[in-house]
Structure 1
Amino acid sequence: MSGPYRNPLPTVDIIIEVAGGIVLIERRNPPHGWAIPGGFLDWGETVEACALREAREETGLVVRLEELFYVYSHPERDPRHHTMTTVFIASAEGMPVAADDAKNAGVFSADALPAPLVFDHGQILSDYFSYRQGENKASLFRRYLHPDSAARTPVP
């Protein structure tokens, strides 16, 4: 191996379910667009604690983590650098209020998503809505788990 040793950066994303749909934020910083709330894992922090912190910081909502959805790690999912995200499904009460890295926040349904969606969040939300419509995780994520999935994994 030549050159410096590099690792992907760990992040979390939280699909927050509230009355009327899911919470998305409009990003204050590049890349600009709409995103699932989330962010980078801090040193010494668990992914669960990071999810709770990021949800609160960006939306003002206190969330309950309901389940681990999936880990997305395609090297091109974030145009800034190689990241991997642990995606949680969470629930909350109330309406989001944009703060921290969020310029705006809103509640959206599957048929009324804002544009543009950044990173690979369009694919994540497509997977999420398929799951909520009854597709089981084994079937849904089979394309990612296949040995040659790198060639077939959706890229943003």
Structure 2
Amino acid sequence: MYIIKSFKHPLLTVDAVITIFDGRIIFIRRKNPPYKGSWAFPGGFVEYGETVEEAVIREVREETGVIIKIQDLLGVYSDPGRDPRGHMITVCFLASKIEGELRADTDAAEVSCFTADEALRMNLAFDHNKILKDALKRIL
């Protein structure tokens, strides 16, 4: 097997815009840098051998304690400056909560739900304000 080692490559992440039955959206407060203390969509890195769909379900469960159903692909966000750690590409899904109780875990210091109006007034981590606006065009 030939592996290219001399080139830099972006890393792959996933995020989820998750709505609950009353239309509110689930956010996590980040426990770690970058953006420690800021609100963000649940998500994280795709592990080797994992599909992006498996990764987003795993990351959401690890960070929020809930099980989701993926509704649709929202988009791919690839701006090289979107993450201060380096070039990260995220695959973002629209999803709904299907079971479980909200509880912060792993990389989340806190988990909460906000209305669209509340979320639009927040200064979210990464490019999540842009992702939120894109999501609201689809779910409202």
Structure-to-structure mapping, 1:112-151, within 5 angstroms: 112-113=118-119, 115-133=122-140
Residue identity matched to 2:126: F
Match of 2:3 in 1: none
In 1, Cα distance between the equivalents of 2:130 and 2:123?
Answer: 13
> 5 Å matches for 1:11-50?
11-20=13-22, 21-31=24-34, 32=36, 33-50=38-55
Q: Which amino acid aligns with 1:103?
A: A
Gaps of 5+ in 2: 1-5
Letter of the 2:55 counterpart = C
What pairs with 1:24-103 in structure 2 (closer than 5 Å)?
A: 24-31=27-34, 32=36, 33-93=38-98, 95-103=101-109
TM-score (norm 2): 0.88
Q: Which has the higher contact order (CA 8 A, sep 6+)?
A: 2
Taking structure 1 as the reference length, what is the TM-score of the superposition? Answer: 0.79
Deviations 1:25-49 (A, max 9, x none): 0000012211000000001100000
* Deviation per residue, 1:53-102 (Å, 9 max, x gap): 00100000011111111000000111111000000111114542111100
Q: Match of 2:134, as an amino acid?
A: D
Identity in percent: 45
Measured in 2, the distance between the counterparts of 1:26 and 1:42 equals: 22
Structure 2: distance between partners of 1:78 and 1:104 = 21
Q: 4+ residue stretches of structure 1 with deviation over 6 A?
A: none
In structure 1, runs of 5+ residues without a counterpart are 134-156
| Structure with the largest fraction of strand | 2
In 1, Cα distance between equivalents of 2:19 and 2:29: 17
Which of 1, 6, 9 is the equivalent residue of 1:7? 9
Instruction: Tell me by how many angstroms 1:19 deviates.
Output: 2.6
Q: Indicate the SS of the match to 2:67.
A: coil
Shift of 1:13: 0.1
Match of 2:137, SS? helix
